Chains A and B, each alone.
Chain A
Amino acid sequence: MAGTEVLSLRDKLVESDPGLLRFRQALKSVVAVALAVAVFSRASGVITLFAGISAAFLMQCVDSGSRRRQQASMAATAGAMMIMAPIASALHGHRAAETALLVCWAAAVFYARRFLQGNGAFTLFAFTEVLLASALPGNPTGQFQTAAVGFVIAFFMRFWVWPPDEARAFCDAVRFFNRRAAHIANAANHDSADLERLHAAVVFGQNLLAEHSELQPEGVYQRLVSRQFDALQSLRMLHEARSRAAGTDESGDCAAVRDSIRDLAVCRLVEIAAELRADLQRLDRGGR
Chain B
Amino acid sequence: MKAASAVNPLAMRGAAAAAIAILITTVLSLQRPYWVIMIAVVLVNQTTGQSLRRSGERVAATLAGFAIGWGLEWITSPHHWVQIGIMMAAVFLAVFFRQSWGRGSYAWMMLFISLYVVFLFAVLGEWSPAIFAERIADTCLGAGAALLATFAVHSPGSRDRLRQEADKLWDQCRAQLAEAVAGFTCGAPPTGQPHAALLQQLEALRSHMEEALYETFLMPAARRDAVRNFAVAEMLCYLALGLFDAIACGAGSSQGSKLRVPLEESIGPVVHARRTDFELPPGVNPLLPLPACPEACRFAAEECRKAGLDGSDLIWARPLLYYAAAFSDALRKPVCEPRV
Residues of A within 8 A of B (CB): 16-17, 21-23, 25-27, 29-30, 33-34, 45, 56, 59-60, 95, 99, 102-111, 113-116, 121, 124, 127-128, 131-132, 134-136, 169, 200, 203-204, 206-208, 211, 225-227, 229-230, 232-234, 236-237, 240-241, 244, 247, 249-251, 253-254, 256-258, 260-261, 263-265, 267-268
Kindly state whether residue B18 has any CB partner on chain A within 8 Å: yes
Chain B 24-40 near chain A by CB (<8 Å), digits 1 or 0: 00100000111001100
- Interchain Cβ contacts under 8 Å between A and B, 23 examples: A22-B103, A109-B41, A110-B13, A111-B7, A203-B102, A203-B203, A204-B101, A204-B102, A207-B102, A211-B101, A225-B196, A226-B193, A226-B196, A229-B200, A232-B199, A237-B288, A244-B288, A249-B292, A251-B298, A254-B293, A257-B301, A260-B318, A264-B245
The CA-CA distance from A27 to B95 in the complex, in Å, is: 9
The CA-CA distance from A27 to B93 in the complex, in Å, is: 9
Return chain A residues, CB-CB under 8 Å to B37: 102, 131
What 8 A-B pairs are tightest by C-beta distance, nearest first? A207-B102, A135-B34, A106-B18, A260-B318, A107-B15, A26-B96, A253-B297, A229-B196
The CA-CA distance from A265 to B285 in the complex, in Å, is: 17
Kindly state whether residue B181 has any CB partner on chain A within 8 Å: no
Q: Is the interface of A mostly helix, strand, loop or mixed?
A: helix
Given the known interface contacts A110-B7, A110-B11, the answer about A263 and B315 at a Cβ–Cβ threshold of 8 Å is yes
How many A-B pairs have beta carbons closer than 8 Å: the answer is 208
The CA-CA distance from A201 to B102 in the complex, in Å, is: 9
Given the known interface contacts A206-B102, A254-B291, the answer about A25 and B95 at a Cβ–Cβ threshold of 8 Å is yes
Q: Is the CB of B38 within 8 A of A268?
A: no
Give the contacts of B306-340 with A (CB-CB under 8 A).
Answer: 314-319, 322, 339-340
12 more A-B residue pairs beyond the given contacts A60-B98, A114-B2, with a C-beta to C-beta distance below 8 A: A22-B98, A26-B93, A26-B96, A33-B88, A60-B95, A102-B18, A105-B18, A114-B1, A135-B32, A225-B196, A254-B294, A264-B319
Minimal beta-carbon separation of B336 from chain A (angstroms): 10
Minimal beta-carbon separation of B330 from chain A (angstroms): 16
The CA-CA distance from A42 to B333 in the complex, in Å, is: 76
Minimal beta-carbon separation of A22 from chain B (angstroms): 5
Give the contacts of B276-291 with A (CB-CB under 8 A).
Answer: 285, 287-288, 290-291
Return chain B residues, CB-CB under 8 Å to A45: 124
Minimal beta-carbon separation of B187 from chain A (angstroms): 20
Given the known interface contacts A110-B13, A237-B287, the answer about A267 and B1 at a Cβ–Cβ threshold of 8 Å is no
Closest to A136 in B: B34
The CA-CA distance from A169 to B100 in the complex, in Å, is: 13
Minimal beta-carbon separation of B5 from chain A (angstroms): 10
Q: Is the CB of B340 within 8 A of A249?
A: yes
The CA-CA distance from A100 to B7 in the complex, in Å, is: 21
Return chain A residues, CB-CB under 8 Å to B254: none
Number of interface residues of B (CB under 8 A): 73
Given the known interface contacts A30-B88, A135-B33, A233-B245, the answer about A206 and B290 at a Cβ–Cβ threshold of 8 Å is no
Closest to B300 in A: A257
Minimal beta-carbon separation of A6 from chain B (angstroms): 22
The CA-CA distance from A265 to B298 in the complex, in Å, is: 21
Q: Is the interface of B mostly helix, strand, loop or mixed?
A: helix
Kindly state whether residue B258 has any CB partner on chain A within 8 Å: no
The CA-CA distance from A226 to B38 in the complex, in Å, is: 40
Given the known interface contacts A99-B22, A124-B42, A131-B37, the answer about A256 and B96 at a Cβ–Cβ threshold of 8 Å is no
Q: Is the CB of A226 within 8 A of B195?
A: yes
Minimal beta-carbon separation of B77 from chain A (angstroms): 20
Closest to B26 in A: A95
Return chain B residues, CB-CB under 8 Å to A110: 7, 10-11, 13-14, 44
Return chain B residues, CB-CB under 8 Å to A251: 294, 297-298
Return chain B residues, CB-CB under 8 Å to A116: 2
The CA-CA distance from A232 to B238 in the complex, in Å, is: 12
Q: Is the CB of A256 within 8 A of B318?
A: yes
Return chain B residues, CB-CB under 8 Å to A21: 100-101
Closest to A104 in B: B15
Q: Is the CB of B297 within 8 A of A254?
A: yes
Closest to A124 in B: B42
Return chain B residues, CB-CB under 8 Å to A250: 290-291
Q: Is the CB of A23 within 8 A of B11?
A: no
Q: Is the CB of B318 within 8 A of A106?
A: no
